[in-house]
Chain A
Amino acid sequence: MRRQILMPPMTPSMTDGKISRWHVSEGQSVAAGDLLVEVATPTATFEIEADNEGHVERILVPAGTEGVKVNTPIAILLGVATGEGRSPALGFASFEPLRRDGPRGSARAPAARPAAQGQTYREALRDALAAEMRADPSVFVIGVDVAQNRGAPKVTQGLVDAFGPERVVSVPSLDEALFGMAVGAAFAGLKPVVQLDAWGRSLETLAPALISAAQTFYLSGGRLPVPITLRGPNGFVPGMTGEGARCVAAALARIPGLKVAQPATASAARALLSAAIRDPGPVAVLEHELLYTTSESVDPADDCSLGVARIVRAGADVTLAAAGHAAVSALMAAHALALDGIEAEVVDLMCVAPLDREAIAASVARTGRLVTVEDGTGDLGVGAEIVAFIAAEHFGALKCAPVRVTGARVPMPYAAALQGLAVPNAEQIARVVCDVVRGR
C-alpha cells in the first residue's frame, strides 16, 4: 500500500513547521518504531516514527525546508502506515466546512455574492480584527505578546506591522489590573479587544473587571456603555487539565449584561468578532483551540447580529442545538446519522447569550425532537436552559423528552482516554440522537 506522509499538526495551533532532518533516505527499509523525520516549530521539536513496516519510496520535502504547511505531503512510503493518527483527538483535521442552508441562513443569500477564498478560523479572526481596526481608530488590541505574534492563538499575526505598537499593545502577562485598565479604557469610549491565552485560566483574574464591564451600563441607569471585547480559546485542549481546559460558556452566559459569542467556523468567527467589536456593550468571544486550523470560505461582507442562530444543516427528524466546538461535533454527528437515514437539523447557536430561543423553538416545531450538545459541564448549563425553555414554552411541539449531551462534571483530566470521555464527541452524540429518534 502506497501512502503519503503529511506534515503533521503536532499541536492544535500549529500552522507550519520546518523539516529539520530526515532519519531515513529514499529506498531505505524501516521497521515499526523507527524514526522517520524531525519536525521543528518555533516552540518545540518533534520526531515522527514509522508505525508499521515498509520502505521509503520518495522524500518530497528535503531536510532544512522551513514553513512547510500542515498536511503538506512530505514523503511517500510503501506498506507503511505513518503517524497520521496524531491529528487532534476529535478529528477536526478533516473537518468538513459547514454549509449554510435552512430558513435563517438562506435569508442572507450568501451565494449571491462572489465566492470568497477558503480561509482558516484563525485568519478569519485576524481579518475581522484588521477590518474593525481600519474602520475605527478607537479599536485596539491588548494581550500577551500580541505584537510578536507568539501569543498562543497567533490570531494577531501581522497586525503590529499594519497598526503599530500603540494599537497592538503587547504585555508580558495579563494581570488583574490590565483587565481593569482595558475596562477603564472602554469607560472612556475606546474599544479594547483583549486577547486571553485561555478563558478557563483567565476567568478568576478577569472576573472583577469583567463583572464591572457587564453590570456598569445597567447600574449607571444606562449612562455608561462599556464597549469591550474579550476573546481567546475556551474549553478543551488536548493534554491540558483543570482550568486550562475548562469551558466557561455557561458560567459567562449567566452574567447579566454580558454577551457571549461562540464561533464554530471560520465564517462565524469573522462575523461574530466583527459584531462583538461593533457592539456598544461587553462581549466575550469564546474561540476553540481545535478550530483555529479549520477552514471554510468566508465572505467578509457577511455580517450577523449577536444572538441570532444559524441553521447549518436542515433535517426533519431531530433538532441538535449547540454552539462553538460542540456545534461542529453535532454537525459531524449529523453527517454520520444521515448515513443511517436520520436527518438531524443542526442549529448553530452562534451566541449562548443572548440565546436565540426562537430559532430553537422554530426548529423543534419542525422536528419534534431536541438534543442539546455542549462541551461544558451539564448541570445548570446551556442545555439545561434550552430544555427548560422548550419544555415550558413549547411542550406541545415535543414528540419525546428532550436530551442533553454534555461534558462530564469533572475537572478536565489528563489521560487522553479520560479526556475523550469528558467532552462529547460525534460518535457519542450520534448514539444518543439515534436512541432519541428511534424511541429507545
Chain B
Amino acid sequence: MAGSVLGPNTVETGSVSTNEEIAAYRSMLLIRRFEEKAGQLYALQAIHGACPLCIGQEASIVGTMMEARETDPVITGYRTHGAVLARGVEPRLVMAELTGRKSGLAHGKGGTVRMFAPEHKFFGGHGSGGLGVPLGAGLAFASRYRGDDAVTLCFYGDGAAVRGRVLEAYKAAARWSLPIVFIVDNNTAAPGASIVLGSVPSALSESGRPFAIPGEQVDGIDVRRVRAAARRAIERARRGDGPTVLEMLTYRYRGHGGVPARAGANAERRIEDADPIVKARARLLADGLLSERALKVLEKEVKEIVVAAAAFARSEPVPEAGDLLASVGA
C-alpha cells in the first residue's frame, strides 16, 4: 500500500485552469480554517452537542462543487459545514448557527446538522444514517418531473452507504434514471467503527451495481481528480443517462467533535500523505502558479474571514424566549 489511501493513480485529472486551481485551493483552505476554528470553539464549549468536522475531505467537496451549476441541488449527511460553505453561504452565518445565535443560518434552531439554504439550492444536513440519500433522490425526482436539467449532488459517508435506505434510493434512482450523483466520502472512519485504516472494504463504488448504476473510485485527496470524475458523472446525469456512484477515497483525521480520529504510529505520516490542502499548495508552488508571498496573502485573507466569522458568532445575541415557538409549522 506504500502508505497511500489514494486508490488508483491513473485517473484522468482533466484540464484545470490556473484560476480554477487557485479558486479550489482558496475554497478548500476556507473550509479547513473554518473547521479548525469550529473545533476550537467546540473545545471551548462555545459550540455544544456534536460538531462533525470535514477536515481532510475538502477536495471531495470542492472538486465536485466546482463542476456543479448554481441551480444544481446539493444535499448532505450530518457533515454539513464544508458543503454549505462551498455552496457560497456566508461563513459567519454558518459559524453563528454553530454557536446557536439568532442570526445563524437557521436562527439557532438547527445547529451543525440542520443547515439549509434553499436560495443556494442547499437542502441540508440530515442525520439518521443516510436519510439524506432518499431525500436527494427526491430532489432529483423533482428535476425530472419538471423537466429542468439540474443534477443533484448527494453526499454521504461510508457508514451510511451500506444502509438499506441508501440501497433502496439507488433502486429508485435507477428506475427513473434520476439526474443525481451519489458521492460517498469513504473516510474509513464511520462513527464507532474500529479505526484501522483499510478495515472498511473499499468497494462502495460498486454498491450501485445491482441496480446497474456505474461507479468510480476517486482519489479524493486530489481536487483535480475529484473534479474530473465529478464532470463525467454530472454530464452523464445531465444527458439523462442516470445516476453514478463516486466513491471518494479520503482521509479525515479529526474525529467527531474534533477529537483525533486516528491513533498509532502511522497516523501522522498518513496525514502528510493525505492532506488535500498541503498537496494543492505544493502543486501551486511547484507549477509556479502562485508565489510563496502570494499564497501567504491569500491565506491571511482566508484566516481573517474565519476570525471575523468566529467573532460574529460569539458576539451575536442568542435567540429569545419568543423565538422558541416561531415557525413550528409552515
For B136, give the chain A residue with the smallest CB separation.
Answer: A184
Give the complex CA separation of A176 and B137 in angstroms: 12
Which of B116, B135, B146, B326 contacts A181 (CB under 8 A)? Answer: B135
Which residues of chain B are within 8 angstroms of A217 by Cβ–Cβ distance?
Answer: 327-330
Q: B137 and A221: CB pair below 8 A?
A: no
Give the complex CA separation of A257 and B326 in angstroms: 11
Q: B168 and A189: CB pair below 8 A?
A: no
Which of B73, B109, B137 contacts A180 (CB under 8 A)? Answer: B137
Q: A220 and B110: CB pair below 8 A?
A: yes
Which residues of chain A are within 8 angstroms of B118 by Cβ–Cβ distance?
Answer: 187, 223-224
Give the complex CA separation of A164 and B305 in angstroms: 52
Q: Is B231 an interface residue (CB 8 A)?
A: no
Contact size class for B?
A: 35 or more
Q: Is A330 an interface residue (CB 8 A)?
A: no
Stretch at the interface among A36-44, A208-216, A399-407: A208-216
Which residues of chain A are within 8 angstroms of B104 by Cβ–Cβ distance?
Answer: 221
Which residues of chain A are within 8 angstroms of B136 by Cβ–Cβ distance?
Answer: 184
Which residues of chain B are within 8 angstroms of A178 by Cβ–Cβ distance?
Answer: 134, 168, 172
Which of A181, A218, A220, A280 contacts B172 (CB under 8 A)? Answer: A181
Q: A184 and B327: CB pair below 8 A?
A: no
Which residues of chain A are within 8 angstroms of B131 by Cβ–Cβ distance?
Answer: 180, 208-209, 212
Q: A188 and B73: CB pair below 8 A?
A: yes
Count of chain A residues with Cβ under 8 Å from any Cβ of B?
39
Which residues of chain A are within 8 angstroms of B171 by Cβ–Cβ distance?
Answer: 175, 177
Which of A176, A185, A218, A221 contacts B139 (CB under 8 A)? Answer: A185
Q: A221 and B327: CB pair below 8 A?
A: yes
For A175, give the chain B residue with the smallest CB separation.
Answer: B168
Which residues of chain A are within 8 angstroms of B75 by Cβ–Cβ distance?
Answer: 184
In the complex, chain A residues 244-294 whose Cβ is within 8 Å of any chain B Cβ = 256-257, 259, 279-281
Give the complex CA separation of A221 and B136 in angstroms: 20
Contact with A along B152-184 (1 / 0, CB 8 A): 000000000000111011011000000000000
Q: Is B133 an interface residue (CB 8 A)?
A: yes
Q: Is A376 an interface residue (CB 8 A)?
A: no
Q: A222 and B145: CB pair below 8 A?
A: no
Q: B117 and A223: CB pair below 8 A?
A: yes
Q: Is A186 an interface residue (CB 8 A)?
A: yes
Q: Is B124 an interface residue (CB 8 A)?
A: yes
Contact with A along B290-330 (1 / 0, CB 8 A): 00000000000000000000000000000000000011111
Which residues of chain A are within 8 angstroms of B116 by Cβ–Cβ distance?
Answer: 216, 219-221, 223-224
Q: A222 and B138: CB pair below 8 A?
A: no
Which residues of chain B are within 8 angstroms of A209 by Cβ–Cβ distance?
Answer: 131, 134-135
Which residues of chain A are within 8 angstroms of B133 by Cβ–Cβ distance?
Answer: 177, 180
Which residues of chain B are within 8 angstroms of A180 by Cβ–Cβ distance?
Answer: 131, 133-135, 137-138, 165, 169
Q: Is A182 an interface residue (CB 8 A)?
A: yes
Q: Is B46 an interface residue (CB 8 A)?
A: no
A-B CB contact pairs (8 Å), 18 listed: A176-B168, A177-B172, A181-B135, A182-B138, A184-B75, A187-B139, A188-B73, A188-B141, A190-B145, A209-B134, A217-B327, A217-B328, A218-B327, A219-B106, A219-B110, A219-B116, A223-B117, A280-B330
What 10 new A-B contacts, CB under 8 Å, besides A223-B117, A224-B118?
A: A176-B168, A180-B138, A181-B138, A185-B139, A187-B123, A188-B138, A217-B327, A219-B109, A220-B109, A221-B109
Residues of B participating in the A interface, judged by any CB pair closer than 8 Å: 73, 75, 104-110, 114, 116-118, 123-124, 126, 128, 131, 133-143, 145-146, 164-166, 168-169, 171-172, 326-330
